[in-house]
Amino acid sequence: MKTELQYKTFDDLMNTVRSDFYTYDQDNFINPQELLKIAIKINYELGLKINQSRGKIIDVKNGKGKLPADFYVMNFAMLCGVGEDRYTNCHGSEMQTMYDQMVKLAQITNARPLVQFADLSVGWNIVTHNLASTNIVLTLQDSEKNYINFEYVIINQDQVKVKVSEHYAGARINIIAAANIVANCSITLDNCPDGCKITETRPGLIRDFSRPVPVEILPYNYGEPECNLEKVGSYSYRLKIKNGFVHSINFTEGRLYINYESVMEDDEGNLMVLDHPVVNEYYEYALKERILENLFLNGENTSQKLQLVQAKLRPARNNALSFINTPDFFEMKQVWAKNRKAMYNKYYNMFSGYGWYGGYGGAYKSTGGSIA
């Protein structure tokens, strides 16, 4: 589906079901925790097409790199190589928005906040934080708690270089770091022969990787227990995915761009479901069926209501699956091209040597003849 999908939380879905089962909700017969697994099951049935595709850059060190917390299925990976840096000014509002997002994320991850005070002189200043992470974001405030515009560059896991245009005495430096927070980045395609360019955007820094190299992704159990994976495959670089980490085969360090399908959760860890008029009925009738089924098994007389909901559920499920699995024009074109190529490999193409205007190998053009 080449369309932008809309999502809503499981709580929003439950509010719709509660409004339809108002009496049962008033009697506390509806337990959302029992229905959570039904929504998860429907997400699996609808397939990967409803999952959001995301791109992140992760650091690989000693042949190992941690995958994002929302990782589900890998699409492809590229080794970034050496980047070209461009520095930008960090406005107070932008930094505050980024910092607020990190504070919000710190509530559900192992983020570690740090506040320290230092005198900042005009130009570059080195700040030591000892947080052992390059995935950080920071804000600067003067003595009156006004946000300061600045530039910064991450030197290593324990130091960052900050540039200001004025002298600030007792400036407040707010830093948040998290081991599983990766840089926000975007991938853009251009017309260069190399194919694509990866742009990593951080507050105060834009880094371009103009020559990314594709990386082959091997199955997690490939070649175990005895196999020399460095000699396997045609790619220059290879990796495996296991236990929430990427394990590089023939490189030990580098920055790796991964494109993946994320889990159906928002930034706060809440379950997400697809929000579409065709699919909503499937979610709602499936939850209603489980509610009435539980009531029936517990001695309530809901058999007629259960039969009615089950009769509605079957066509709703078929409609939802048909909507999700119907290929769009681009997918149908890919299938057509693949089948056409397969037939050319199987059968002799008797017209491949003729020009579109007639004549073998464009004979009319070479001899000066005319079709008339």
CB-based contacts of 93, cutoff 8 Å, min separation 6: 147
Partners of 175 in the beta sheet?
114, 138
Chain-centroid distance, C-alpha 360: 51
pLDDT tier at 21 (50, 70, 90 boundaries)? very high
Give the H or E element holding residue 197.
strand 196-202
Q: Please, are residues 216 and 111 in contact by the beta-carbon 8 Å criterion?
A: no
β-pair partners for 256? 58, 79
Query: Predicted confidence band at 369 (pLDDT cuts at 50, 70, 90)?
Result: very low
The per-residue pLDDT for 189 is 47
pLDDT band at 280 (very low <50, low <70, confident <90, very high): very high
| Model pTM score | 0.64
pLDDT digits (tens, 9 = 90+) for 148-162: 888 777 777 788 888
Asked whether residue 319 carries a pLDDT value surpassing 90, the answer given is yes
- At 355 the pLDDT is 56
Please state, as a whole number, how many other Cβ atoms lie within 10 Å of the Cβ of residue 239. 27
Confidence band, pLDDT 50/70/90 cuts, at residue 350:
low
Q: How far apart are CA 257 and CA 309, in angstroms?
A: 46
pLDDT tens for 31-47 read 899 999 999 999 999 99
Average pLDDT, whole number, for the chain? 78
- Report residue 367's pLDDT band, with 50, 70 and 90 as the boundaries: very low
Residue 324 has pLDDT above 70, yes or no: yes
